Each structure stands twice: as C-alpha cells, then as structure tokens.
Amino acid sequence: MIEEGERLLLVGEKREYYVKAGAGELGTDLGTLDLSTLVGASPGDVIRTHKDVAFTILRPRPTDFFTHARRSGAPMLPKDIGMVIAYTGMNRRDEVLDAGTGSGIAAIYFGNIARKVVTCEVRPEFAALARKNVESAGLENVEVRACDVLEAGGQYDVVHLDMGLSAAHVEHAYTLLKPGGYLASYTPFLEHTFIVLDAAQSLFRDVHAYECMERELVRSGRGTRPSTRVGHSGYITVARK
Amino acid sequence: MIEEGERLLLVGEKREYYVKAGAGELGTDLGTLDLSTLVGASPGDVIRTHKDVAFTILRPRPTDFFTHARRSGAPMLPKDIGMVIAYTGMNRRDEVLDAGTGSGIAAIYFGNIARKVVTCEVRPEFAALARKNVESAGLENVEVRACDVLEAGGQYDVVHLDMGLSAAHVEHAYTLLKPGGYLASYTPFLEHTFIVLDAAQSLFRDVHAYECMERELVRSGRGTRPSTRVGHSGYITVARK
Amino acid sequence: MIEEGERLLLVGEKREYYVKAGAGELGTDLGTLDLSTLVGASPGDVIRTHKDVAFTILRPRPTDFFTHARRSGAPMLPKDIGMVIAYTGMNRRDEVLDAGTGSGIAAIYFGNIARKVVTCEVRPEFAALARKNVESAGLENVEVRACDVLEAGGQYDVVHLDMGLSAAHVEHAYTLLKPGGYLASYTPFLEHTFIVLDAAQSLFRDVHAYECMERELVRSGRGTRPSTRVGHSGYITVARK
Amino acid sequence: MIEEGERLLLVGEKREYYVKAGAGELGTDLGTLDLSTLVGASPGDVIRTHKDVAFTILRPRPTDFFTHARRSGAPMLPKDIGMVIAYTGMNRRDEVLDAGTGSGIAAIYFGNIARKVVTCEVRPEFAALARKNVESAGLENVEVRACDVLEAGGQYDVVHLDMGLSAAHVEHAYTLLKPGGYLASYTPFLEHTFIVLDAAQSLFRDVHAYECMERELVRSGRGTRPSTRVGHSGYITVARK
C-alpha cells in the first residue's frame, strides 16, 4: 500500500512522470492526474487522467534516477558504476566516501546499497543540485557535503573518486580507508589513470585499472548486430588497503 | 573488536588464508597460527606464526569470495555481476531470485546487497557446495534451494538467470516479478541471447542485451598497454516488468 | 614531372581539390586556379590562386578516393578493406572478383593492388557511378559490370562479396575460385554471417569470421583517450578453396 | 603448369608442407613424396606419398608465409598489416621502406603488393633469417638490409616502422617520404605511441593512431560466440607528408 509522500513513477505508453503521492495535481498534455488517488493504491495499479489516459504506478528503482535526476554534467554510466560496486564488493554494511558528486547519480546508486554514504562536491551549486536529487530519491543515508575531499576525515570501507585527481588524492584516500577497504577511481583520460596507478602502487595491494567497453546487441527485423552508443567513458582503478 | 566465530582473512606477503576466529590452530608452511588470539583483535592488527611470519587480519569483503569460495565451474565474473547490479538497480530493500546457482558466487554478491536472496540450483551436489560457500560467507539472508526455477513461486524485485534458458524461463520470470521489477539473464552464446530477447520483447518493457568487454590497463617498466584476460564471457539481457 | 591529363590532389590549408592537369580553370572561393600550369610541375610544388592562396600539388593515393569518390551509400571502411587484403593475401599477381560494387571504393583499393579486378553491381545506376569513380581513379584494370554475380564466370584468386548473401552465393563463389584462392565476405548482421559460415564450412578450408573493432587514440591538451567513431561495421568471413 | 624451382604448398588432411618443385624427395610420417612429379602438374592436382596418402598442390599466397616462415620473434598480425596497407593506400606503384624487419613477415606482405620494398634490420642474424624467408617467398623486389634505418636514404611512398621508436625516427621518416607519402608505425605500448603522435603532429598532416581489436566469431554445436585470441597487439599510427 502506497503511503502519503512516497515518490512514485507513473509509466504511460509514451511518457513517464516521477511524482509524490498526496494532495495535488499533475498537468500533462494527455490530461490531468489527481495525485491524492495514489495514496492507498498498490504498485502495478493503473491511474487515469481526466482524459482517460492510463498510467501504471510503480515504485522507483535506482535505475530511474539515471533517467529522472536533474543533471549538472555527464553522469557515470551504469556499466562503470557496476564495475565499482563489483570490484569493491560494496554491500549493506559499508560506509562509503564518494567525491566528485556531480549530480549525485553514483552517490544515489551507492546509497541504495551501502549503510551510509558521504559525498563531497567542491562546487556549491552542484552540491545543492545533488542534495535535491538525493532528497527526491528518498535516501536519508546519503550526506552531500560542499567541501574538498582532501579536508574529509573519518574511516570508510570504500572511497570512490570521480574528479580531477593528483597523487595527493590517492594518498589521502589511503588514510580514509579501514584495513581491507577499497579505493576506486574513475578517470576518463590515460594520463590521470597513470597518476592513480603510480601513486597507488606503492601504498595499496591489488592495484588494477580496468576499462569496460559496453556494446548493446541490437535486434531488429533486418537482423542482429552490436551497437556502440558510448565508445569510451573512463578507466576504473581499484586498489585495496 | 573481532568476536568468536567471525570469519577473517589473514593476508601475508605471499599467501592469504580464510579462517574462523576461536579455538584452533592453522598449520602453514610458514609456521603455525593460533586462531584463538584473533578474538579481541582488530582488523588491521598483525598476527604472527610460531616462526614469526606476519599476517594482517582483515574482515573479508564479497570480493574475497570470488577468490576463496570452492568452485563447481566457471563463476560469473565481477564485470558481469556489476552489470546485473547496476542495470537492475539492486538495493538493500530487494528480494532477489537467482537461478543457476553454480558455486554461489553471484548469490553471495547479491546477498551482500539485497535483503533476501533465494537461489535455485537443479544439481543437488552443486546446491550443497553453494550452501557451504554461503554459510562460510556468513550470509543468513541467502537461501539455496535444490530445485528447478520453473517450480519457484513468490514475488521478487529482481530475477537473475544464469543457466540454460528457454522462452518458458523468461515467461515464468515475468510471473515471479513485482511490477517494475527486473529480469537479468546471463547467456554465453548468441543463440540463447536471441531466445531471451525474443521472448522478453513481447512481455517486458525496456529490453536490452549488453556485452561488457573488459580490458585491464597493464603498466610495467617496459610501458603501459591494454591486456585482455577474458575475451568474452556472456551477454547480459535486462528487461523490466 | 606531371603530364597532361594526370589526376592530382591540390591541398590547401582548409580545402582539398581533386583535379585533372591541363587546359582549364578551377574556381574556388579562395580564387581561381589555372590548371594548365600543373603540367610540367612536380608533386610537392605549390600552385597559387589569382588571390595568391597556396595549394600543394600531390599525386593522389587510394586513400584519397575514400574521401573524394562520389558515394551511392556507406562504403566499406579502410579497417575492413585492410582485413580483406591481409587475410586473402591480395597481391600484384591476383585476379579479383568483387560483387556489391556500391560506389566502387573497395574495387578501387583492390584495383590498386591486384592485376585485374572485375566488380559486379546489379543496380545499373550504382554501376554507372562506380564506373565514373574508377575512371577518375585512373584505373584501367578495374572492370565494372552491371550484372548479378551469380551469372559471373571465370577463375579468380580472390572473390569478395559485399551484398545480401545466401548459401547460393557462397557455393557459386567456390566455383569461381582457383585452387588455394580465397572467398572474403562482408556482412553487417550476425544472421548473414551465420549463413556464410555454415555454407562455407562444408565446401572450404580454413573458414573464419572476424570483427575488427577500431578505436582511435585521441590526444589533446586535456589528455589522451580512446574514441570510437564507428562502433560496428560488419563481419569479415574468410574461407579458402 | 608448374615449373621447376617453383615454391609450392602441399596440403593434406592434417599436414601442410612448403616445398620446391624439382629433383628430390620429401620424407613425411605419412610416406615419401617425389618432388620431381610436381613439375608440369597444375595447382589443385593431387600428389600421393608412396603410402598413397593424398596432398593437394597449391601455389602459396602471402598468407602462407605467416604460417610457414621461420620466425625470430612475434610477427605483426594480419589485422595490423591490413591496417597499414589500407590506411597508407599501399599499391602496385609504391616504393616502401620498412624498418624493424624481424622475420620479414610484414616485408613479404608489402613486397607482394608494392613495386619495391627496402627493409632495414639492425640485428644481422635477424636480417639473415628474413633474407631466407624473402628468398623462399620468391620475391625479387624485397631487399633486406642489415642497417639502422636512421642511416637509410632515398625517397619512398610509404615508410613503415615496427621497432623501438624515438622522435628522431619520425623526423627521419619525414625526410624519406615523397610529397603525399605516408608514415605508418606499429607500437605495442602507449608511451611509444605518444612519442610518435607528438613528433608527427608538428611535421605531418592527418596524424591518427588506431587500434584494431579483432575478435573471431566462433560457431560450434553448442552455439556461436566471440573469441579473442589476441587481446592487444599494438597501435598503428598513420601520418601523411
């Protein structure tokens, strides 16, 4: 049963809306939706506009924030977020430090898995946008800080860096990690990947840089063939304390 | 503080051991370790064999099971497990049905993230081995069933299939999913990927098949170059109810 | 020394023109070029427009036809043409049958290497365009035929097919090849690649299908990273008689 | 009709031999072959050992030298040789300078296409081996020089470098090229590729570095899937004078 204030996804044939259950209306070009009728409904139920156009009610999943979050730049792609999660073994018990929040997409993915996420963003306007996205994702365990990660303290299971990086960031990440914890960095350029690899090599164990080249297999009436939407995004470097 | 019965990783210069804290000894070729001294120690502390060889004490992370679990065949690779997690948005609140358990590596990754995992394996001896691996990972929320997934009931947020697949499996997965839930299948061969895509297309929304080609960037004294350890593992097909 | 009637490339800072040495003028937005002054000049010399804008005179190479030929559709890419040449060992002594001429780019590459190329194109208007491109490339050893390859006879060292393919085409290619000769086909879709592989398997030796995923390494002030302009073009299947 | 002294390939069900037509015998574990009977035969004919085991007679193609040449190290792969040929537009009229001969595989491919190939190899024993391979390939237009390429003079249409490279090599290559000619280098490591790109950028036009990731599509009774035999070989950098 859906409660007042729950964030929901309304999925129609051609459009999707991300709304809050409770008093209020949503005007669409397919008619008006009465959002108070969502309270008490169940996921999978259908709600109709005053023009009788149907929308299915769904509880949003982290994947929906990739589509619906407000963006301040190009976010990390699911393939790369998946690499970070799998290679660090991110889990329910973890405390995660994320830096280079951007619009907060990665922090929201991590916050849906880990116990606690602190994410640092130096640009205050980006931090403010990310805070709105986190709030709209209903995550109370993700804290957005408008700060430089080099000033951050504490002890974490995973430190994730998606930002301009120097050796100092790698060294500081080491001090922020619990024994056995993982650093994972995301760097679009080879030169920055080299900096991370070289700085990590002398401090960490099991240092590896990976690239995930994703291809979709597209199947149509003409036939099936691979398709590359994104040729290169970045390198994921993983190192263990 | 480490408690009696906790599973721990002892990391030496050249060897790693996966042990349980408490009464008992571990004989190694570098000397004997007294496991009772682990109780009360802290992660990051050092324990020494009677020959004074040092091992660092760590709490294991899901990544360690990729290395230390007993295997019944080739497990899914972290890159592919990461794709499943990211594209389904797997999270702390999820109930996950996994089928084709194998040695249970994927189920252990999922069990470290999701609230509850049920994993089905038709071969009883594989199911028994997976059960030992799950127990050794200390996961009480992962249930290994020696059964055919086509007999499974219930409602799940994510259904993950890593096994010989027919259209019937895709159709049954649909009935097992909550509204908005995701099917993710792993298929090494193109023909099976086509079967999943075609069966999913008429039932599900947002049907996509992906391949993640992973390359490591290897940096040595001679220079830096990409290295492909695994050329192709399988296709991940994702579909949403 | 450049002779009357030679085809030449005039390369300026921002523009390139493909011209014929001899009487006549070329009007450009940077001024008029007197093409008769090209006769007697040498490659590498500079010619100037009446506005004193400089163009370097070069003898064109096969790569220039990839840029300057008139196109009737998407031509095969250099990476794929290179695979065909290398895997068939195409050489100076060869007689090549090409089918699915299109605008003739592949036939022009082959004609610059082999002794004789016959290329078949069923669509008469495409054959006419290809004939113009071949003539403009100055190749007298490339014959463009407006015909169905299934009607072609003769004996060739290499048969190259870039067109809609059935098992009948593979079987006919076998009859057109000298002992030890190679069939090479180009097929964008997996299904057509399967047809070629299956038909070739029972007739030919050394049957292999390859894909060449090309990435450019792009180096700028910001750093160096791979870039994928074309994600997938097609599969090259090679089989030896 | 096969003439005395011609190099031939004898292809059996399980073995291949590379022989010279004329007086002499070849002893194999399947019986003895009388090589004088090859004179006057035709490609495609069958020759039998004294134990009545059949071998088909074929004229060798450049691809056969990839298999049958004596090797002094890992040769360039066909995919990379194809990239060099296609991106330089190598053709019948070309004079090619090749450096870093190794066992001569690339020089043999080029010699089968171009009018003249000079190939430089600093290690005299490698040069001697390459000379034997070239002779055995029957190529009179390929000259193997035991020298440092920095000492080479002349004017070429294509300069190909497959060796340890410095900026000096790129600059010297520029002086060796005719106007409009191409430099193509092969470098396994990123660092060397950067050196070539940076040195070429200020001298040449159209500077590009490419990587060709080749995958074979393997089709068996179990299904079809990609297979990567060689994950990374090297980068091909192409630049035009």
For position A45, which CATH number holds? 3.10.330.20
Domain termination site, one of D58, D73, D101:
D58
Residues of chain B with C-beta less than 8 angstroms from the C-beta of D191: 223-224
Considering only CA atoms, which of C144, C130, C134, C127 is closest in space to residue C112? C134
- In a mutagenesis test of the A interface, which of B10, B79, B206 is the best target, namely the one with the most A β-carbons within 10 Å? B79
Task: Report the gap between the CA of C128 and the closest CA in chain A (Å).
Answer: 27
A1 assigned to some structural domain: no
Residues of chain A with C-beta less than 8 angstroms from the C-beta of B62: 89, 91
Specify whether C117 is located in the same domain as C218.
Answer: yes
pLDDT band at C230 (very low <50, low <70, confident <90, very high): low
Q: Which of A79, A210, A213 sits opposite B216 (nearest CB)?
A: A210
Residue B230, pLDDT above cutoff 80: no
Mean pLDDT on D172-185: 97
pLDDT at D200: 98
Give the ranges where chain A is alpha helix by DSSP (H).
62-68, 78-88, 105-111, 124-136, 167-176, 190-201
Judge: C231–A232 Cβ closer than 8 Å, yes or no: no
How remote is the C-alpha of D41 from its chain's centroid?
28
C93 assigned to some structural domain: yes
Domain termination site, one of B37, B58, B79:
B58
Q: Which of A192, A226, A232 sits opposite C232 (nearest CB)?
A: A226
pLDDT band at A90 (very low <50, low <70, confident <90, very high): very high
DSSP 8-state symbol, C233 = -
pLDDT band at D125 (very low <50, low <70, confident <90, very high): very high
* Residue A142 CB partners (closer than 8 Å, separation 6+): A104, A107, A108, A110, A111, A117, A119, A134
Residue D235, pLDDT above cutoff 70: yes
Specify whether B215 is located in the same domain as B231.
Answer: yes
* Residue B12 CB partners (closer than 8 Å, separation 6+): B30, B53, B54, B55, B56
Residue D228, pLDDT above cutoff 80: no
Specify whether B180 is located in the same domain as B81.
Answer: yes
Percent of chain A past pLDDT 90, that is, above it, reads 90
pLDDT band at B69 (very low <50, low <70, confident <90, very high): confident
Judge: B62–A198 Cβ closer than 8 Å, yes or no: no
Specify whether A28 is located in the same domain as A94.
Answer: no
pLDDT at C128: 97
- In a mutagenesis test of the D interface, which of C210, C230, C236, C238 is the best target, namely the one with the most D β-carbons within 10 Å? C210
Q: What is the pTM of this model?
A: 0.94
pLDDT at C239: 98
Mean pLDDT on D224-233: 83
pLDDT at A212: 93
Percent of chain D past pLDDT 70, that is, above it, reads 99
Residue A76, pLDDT above cutoff 70: yes
Task: Report the gap between the CA of B42 and the closest CA in chain D (Å).
Answer: 42
Lowest mean pLDDT among A102-111, B23-32, C195-204: B23-32
Measured CA to CA, the distance from residue D237 to residue D86 in angstroms comes to 12
A2 assigned to some structural domain: no
Considering only CA atoms, which of D83, D8, D13, D67 is closest in space to residue D38? D8
Task: Report the gap between the CA of C84 and the closest CA in chain D (Å).
Answer: 8
Task: Report the gap between the CA of A91 and the closest CA in chain B (Å).
Answer: 5
- In a mutagenesis test of the C interface, which of A212, A225, A228, A232 is the best target, namely the one with the most C β-carbons within 10 Å? A225
Residue type, C45: D
Q: Which of C192, C215, C223 sits opposite A223 (nearest CB)?
A: C192
Measured CA to CA, the distance from residue B184 to residue B175 in angstroms comes to 14
Measured CA to CA, the distance from residue B201 to residue C66 in angstroms comes to 39
pLDDT band at A92 (very low <50, low <70, confident <90, very high): very high
Rg for chain A (alpha carbons), in Å? Answer: 20
Total count of domains within chain C: 2
Mean pLDDT (chain A, rounded): 95
Task: Report the gap between the CA of B217 and the closest CA in chain A (Å).
Answer: 5
B98 token code pair: 């996994």
pLDDT at A69: 87
Residues of chain B with C-beta less than 8 angstroms from the C-beta of D80: none
DSSP 3-state assignment of A184? strand
Residue A68, pLDDT above cutoff 90: no
CATH number of residue C120's parent domain: 3.40.50.150
CA–CA distances in Å: residue A208 to residues A84, A85, B83, C29, C225? 12, 15, 18, 54, 18
DSSP 8-state symbol, B38 = G
Burial pattern B89-124, b for ≥16 Cβ within 10 A else e, equals bbbeebbbbbbbbbbbbbbbbbbbbbebbbbbbbee
pLDDT at A230: 65
Specify whether C177 is located in the same domain as C231.
Answer: yes
A116 token code pair: 């606690």
C48 assigned to some structural domain: yes
Judge: B224–D189 Cβ closer than 8 Å, yes or no: yes
Q: Is D221 in CB contact (< 8 Å) with chain B?
A: no
B1 assigned to some structural domain: no
D1 assigned to some structural domain: no
Judge: C232–A228 Cβ closer than 8 Å, yes or no: yes
Specify whether C32 is located in the same domain as C126.
Answer: no
Judge: D189–B223 Cβ closer than 8 Å, yes or no: yes
Measured CA to CA, the distance from residue B35 to residue B25 in angstroms comes to 5
Beta pairing class for D54-58 and D46-48: antiparallel
Contact partners of B by the rule of 3+ C-beta pairs under 8 A?
A: A, D
pLDDT digits (tens, 9 = 90+) for C45-96: 999 999 999 999 999 999 998 888 888 888 999 999 999 999 999 999 999 9
Specify whether B123 is located in the same domain as B45.
Answer: no
Judge: A179–B9 Cβ closer than 8 Å, yes or no: no
Specify whether B19 is located in the same domain as B105.
Answer: no
pLDDT band at C229 (very low <50, low <70, confident <90, very high): low
Measured CA to CA, the distance from residue D127 to residue B64 in angstroms comes to 51
Element at C124 (helix H, strand E): helix C124-136
Residue D146, pLDDT above cutoff 80: yes
Q: Which of A9, A56, A214 sits opposite B212 (nearest CB)?
A: A214
B72 assigned to some structural domain: yes
Mean pLDDT on A52-61: 94
Judge: A231–C232 Cβ closer than 8 Å, yes or no: no
Judge: C91–D226 Cβ closer than 8 Å, yes or no: no
Specify whether D24 is located in the same domain as D89.
Answer: no
The 10 Å Cβ neighbour count of residue D150 is 14
Specify whether B137 is located in the same domain as B201.
Answer: yes
Interface of D with C in 44-83 (CB under 8 A): 44, 56-64, 78-79, 81-83
Judge: A180–B216 Cβ closer than 8 Å, yes or no: no
The residue ranking higher by pLDDT, A15 or C236, is C236
pLDDT at B231: 76
Lowest mean pLDDT among B12-16, B203-207, D188-192: B12-16
The residue ranking higher by pLDDT, C13 or D107, is D107
Parent domain of C16: 7-58
Mean pLDDT on B48-57: 95
Specify whether C68 is located in the same domain as C30.
Answer: no
Measured CA to CA, the distance from residue A85 to residue A8 in angstroms comes to 26
Specify whether A28 is located in the same domain as A82.
Answer: no
Residue B229, pLDDT above cutoff 70: no
Give the distance between the most distant pair of CA atoms in chain B.
66
Task: Report the gap between the CA of A111 and the closest CA in chain B (Å).
Answer: 9
Q: Is the ipTM of this complex over 0.90?
A: yes
Q: Is C222 in CB contact (< 8 Å) with chain A?
A: yes
Residue D78, pLDDT above cutoff 80: yes
Contact partners of D by the rule of 3+ C-beta pairs under 8 A?
A: B, C
pLDDT at A47: 95
Judge: C229–A227 Cβ closer than 8 Å, yes or no: no
Contact partners of A by the rule of 3+ C-beta pairs under 8 A?
A: B, C
Residue C222 and residue A189 in contact, taking contact as beta carbons nearer than 8 Å: yes
Mean pLDDT on A202-217: 95
Task: Report the gap between the CA of D224 and the closest CA in chain B (Å).
Answer: 5
pLDDT digits (tens, 9 = 90+) for C37-53: 999 999 999 999 999 99
pLDDT at D65: 86
- In a mutagenesis test of the D interface, which of B187, B196, B232 is the best target, namely the one with the most D β-carbons within 10 Å? B232
Mean pLDDT (chain B, rounded): 95
Beta pairing class for A116-120 and A142-145: parallel
CA–CA distances in Å: residue B38 to residues A240, B23, B53, D168? 22, 9, 15, 61
pLDDT digits (tens, 9 = 90+) for B163-203: 999 999 999 999 999 999 999 999 999 999 999 999 999 99
D196 assigned to some structural domain: yes
D106 token code pair: 């690339």
pLDDT at A66: 83
Residue B148, pLDDT above cutoff 70: yes
